[in-house]
Amino acid sequence: MTLKTIDLFAGAGGITEGFRQAGSACLFANDFNPYACETFRLNHPGVEMICGAIQDLDASAIRKSLAIRKGELDVLVAGPPCQGFSINAPERFLEDPRNSLFKHYLRFVDEFAPKTFLFENVPGMLSLGGGRIFDTILSQMRERGYRVSARILLAAHYGVPQVRWRMIILGSQLGEAPAHPKPSHYYDCRPNFKGGATIATRLVPFDQLSLKTAVTLADAISDLPPVEAGGGEEVMAYGKRTPKSSYGESMREGSRVLYNHTANRLSKINFDRLAHIAPGSAWTSIPHALLPAGMKKARTSDHTMRYGRLSWQSLAGTMMTKCDPHWGAVFHPGQDRTFTVRETARIQSFPDSYRFLGPRAAQYEQVGNAVPVLLAKAIANSLAKHLAATTPEARCL
């Protein structure tokens, strides 16, 4: 079933790509980041993309230009900037203007009256302001006639080599609320945030019998050619290495060259620190004299993943917008450097054919802000099943 979608706050297009892989057709997209818009247009040339603040968009004019009647759109997608909701944000204010962007999403809901909607964000929105933002979103959608369901999903459960939790709110005007996708891969991870015990998807050891094994870093990136810190090329050949996993093969499908396989430079002090960090270790392996000044008084239980070098058999942590070892485990398991842009894209399950534009810092930002493609694909398939089962024809059977 081909779904007609609109993607607001689309970024570089992680959700759009996942929906495209599931057979959906995005009609319109919007984002305010110029580099993200360039990347989106390059990879989705058939989609009308307006680059600018959503506050400046005329929802009525857009609907008329697309020749869509109210109630005809299958899915309205939105993933507003999450920095104001994130538990990793240095300051969290209910008054943060980024937290009011969902009001502009509601303008599009009112204008298009979509059959279903997808609202995506970070789990931190559950606790911000005592949960008032979250409750407001649900109540506003229910007032508009939608049956709503909220779950916190783990990307690793859908074949993404990353421990990344996302709040996924689904709603429908057609019968019951849409079901969230069932996990396809097994990974045991305890959510450590509010709501983890209630609406986060968790698995038990028995699930290993029916689910695939989680995708590891070895599966995800070990087939990529080696590069040095500060090296790599924007366009390069794959070289003589061959894919070592079905995941690597799937990422290469449709791509004859490798894009964005470039790494950040490392300062001398970070090279000195890295020499003491074995795979699976982090900042506590660094001699005290080499630690940053702000970390010399830290307890060993603090900042556990800073300056981390992951092991091949592990999963990556949440890909952030900066590939900076001071903020997370971004050292390569087998090479003395941080991840390349392409490696972070692989970890976010973007196919190798997906090219990111702009300076390298902007490329890392686009990848880090994206929703993992395979997670989006699983959600798209779930919504397609819901819509197929709630058409008038299906209800008469």
Rg (CA), the chain: 21
Task: Quote the CA–CA distance of 68 and 299 in Å, as a whole number.
Answer: 58
Furthest-apart CA atoms within the chain: distance in Å = 73
The one-character DSSP state at 187 is -
Task: Quote the CA–CA distance of 332 and 325 in Å, as a whole number.
Answer: 10
Q: Which residues contact 130 (CB under 8 A, 6 or more apart)?
A: none
Residue tagged active-site, from 82, 189, 323, 396: 82
The answer to whether residue 51 is catalytic is no
Return the sign of the alpha-carbon dihedral for residues 194, 199, 201, 203. positive
CB burial string 313-340: b at 16+ within 10 A, e below: ebbbbbbbbebebeebbbbbbeeebbbb
Question: How far are the Cα atoms of 161, 182, 225 from residue 186, in angstroms, in the given order?
Answer: 11, 11, 28
Contact 7, 26 (CB under 8 A): yes
Q: Could you list the active site residues? A: 82
